[in-house]
Amino acid sequence: MKTILLPYHDEDAGRTALEVATAVARRFGSFLMGLLVQEAPRISFDQGIPVPAEYLSAYARRWREFADVSRGHFQTMTRQKGMATGELETEEQGPLAGWRELEGRESQVVAEYGRLFDLIVIGRTKAAATALWQETCEAALFESGRPVLLASSEPPADGVGHEIVIAWNGSTETARTVALAMPLLTAASHVVVLSVEGGMVSGPSGRDMASHLSRHGIAAEATTVRQDGRTTGEAILEESRRLHADLLVKGAYTRSRLRQVIFGGATEHVMRHAPVPVLLAH
C-alpha cells in the first residue's frame, strides 16, 4: 500500500475519504495523491440549440470554487497529519501527499490513472448515492485492476485495519480481494473470516481460508452465521458491527452486475450501508 489515489468526488465524500486515506498512508508510509477531475457539463439541451455562454461560465466558476476549496482542505489536512508534500516520482519515502487536477470523464480518469496506485480510496456521501458516484466506483472496481477502499461516512476513531472482517463466500472475486488486502491483513491485530449460510458459492470454506491466512502469520479465525431472515448483505454488516470491525474485506459483484441491479445483492447493500470502511475488488 505504498501508493494511494483519492478522487475528490464531492466535498462530503472527499473529506470522509481523506480521513481514511491519511490513516492508511501514515501506517504504511505511503504516497497519497488527491485527484480532482473537471468534467464537461452534462447538458440536456435539444440538438441544434446552442448552449448559453452564461451557463458555461457559471459552471466553470462553480467548479473552480469547488477545486480551490478541495485543494485547500486536502493540503491543510495532510500537513496537519504530518505528511510532507511530494509527487509520485519523489524518491523520498512517505508518508507524502500530492495533488492533481485533470480534465475528462471522472469515471474514466479514475479507472485509468488508478492503475498506477496500490489502492483507490473513494468516499461515500451522506446523501443518496448519485449515478456519477456509482459510475466512478464501478469503473474503479472493473477497469483499474486495483482494490477500492470505500470510506464510511463516519470513519473509525481509532484507525483502519486493526480489527478486520473478511466476508468470505468461496468465490474467485473474494479470493482476489483477500490477496490484494494482504498488507492490511498482516498488519491487523485480529481477522475474522465470516461466512453466511446461503451466501456461499462453490469453493473453499471459511475455515480453509483462515488456515491459509494463519500460514502467513495472520491471527485469523473462522465463523459461520445463519441468515435468520436477513439478506446476505444485512447479515454481513450486522455481524461486522457485532465483531467491532474497523474494516470489512469483500469481493465485489460475485453475482453478475445485471443480476445485482435486477434482484439486489450483497455488494450493493454493503456499498451503500456499511458503517465501516470496505475494501472491495472484482
Question: Quick one: average pLDDT of 83-106?
Answer: 91
CA 9, 138, 21, 105 dihedral sign is: negative
Domain ranges of the chain: 3-150, 163-281
Backbone angles phi, psi at 160, to 5 degrees: -120, 135
Q: Which amino acid is at 268?
A: E
3-state helix, strand, coil in the chain (%, to 5): 45, 20, 35
Q: How far apart are CA 35 and CA 98, in angstroms?
A: 9
pLDDT tens digits for range 126-164:
655 678 888 999 999 999 999 999 998 777 778 899 999
CB atoms within 10 A of CB 88: 13
Question: Sorting pLDDT into bands at 50, 70 and 90, what band is 61?
Answer: confident
Q: How far apart are CA 78 and CA 98, in angstroms?
A: 9
Q: So what's the pLDDT on residue 146?
A: 96
Tell me the pairing of strands 96-103 and 84-85: parallel
Evaluate whether 3-150 and 163-281 have a shared fold: yes
Q: In the CATH hierarchy, which fold is given to the domain comprising 3-150?
A: Rossmann fold (3.40.50)
| pTM: predicted TM-score of the whole model, two decimal places | 0.90
Q: So what's the pLDDT on residue 60?
A: 83
List the grid coordinates of 135: 459510475
Is residue 76 pLDDT above 90, yes or no? yes
pLDDT tens digits for range 179-193:
999 999 999 999 999
Tell me yes or no: is domain 163-281 CATH 2.70.70.10: no
